[in-house]
Amino acid sequence: MTRSSTTFGMLIAVVAAASFGLSGALIKPLLEAGWSPAAAVTLRVLVGGAVLAPFAIVALKGRWIALWYARTRILLMALIGVSATQFAYFAAVERIPVGIAILLEYLAPLLLVAFAWATTRRMPKAVVLIGSVIALGGLILVVSPEGSGALDPLGVIFALCAAVGAAVYYVVAARSSEGLPAVALAAAGLLIGGLLLGFIGLVGLVPFDMPMVDVAVLGHVAPWWVPLLIVGVVSTGIAYSTSIMASEMLGSRLASFVGLLEVVTAALYAWLLISENLSLPQLIGGALILVGIGFVRSERTEHIADFTIEAEAFPSDDDEPILAPASAPLEPGTDTVPLRPVQSSGG
Residues 111/252, Cβ–Cβ less than 8 Å: no
What value does the mean pLDDT of the chain take? 81
Q: Can you spell out the DSSP letters for 291-312?
A: HHHHHHHHHHHHHHHHHHHHHH
Highest mean pLDDT of the ranges 103-117, 187-201, 305-319, 331-345: 187-201
Among 203, 249, 184, smallest CA distance to 52 is for 184
pLDDT, greater one: 307 or 273: 273
Q: What angle do CA 36, 41, 45 make, to 5 degrees?
A: 155
Q: Where are the domains of the chain?
A: 3-308
Distance separating alpha carbons of residues 248 and 42, to the nearest angstrom = 26
Mode of pairing for the β-strands spanning 215-217 and 220-222: antiparallel
Among 161, 197, 264, 244, smallest CA distance to 44 is for 197
Residue 234 CB neighbours (<10 A): 18
> Does the pTM exceed 0.85?
no
* Continuous H helices in 176-238: 182-202, 225-230
pLDDT digits (tens, 9 = 90+) for 308-344: 333 344 344 444 443 444 444 444 444 444 444 444 3
pLDDT, greater one: 123 or 177: 123
pLDDT digits (tens, 9 = 90+) for 45-82: 999 999 999 999 999 988 899 999 999 999 999 999 99
Which pLDDT value is given to residue 50? Answer: 96
Which pLDDT value is given to residue 56? Answer: 95
Paired with 340 in beta bridges are: 324
Average pLDDT of 213-228?
A: 88
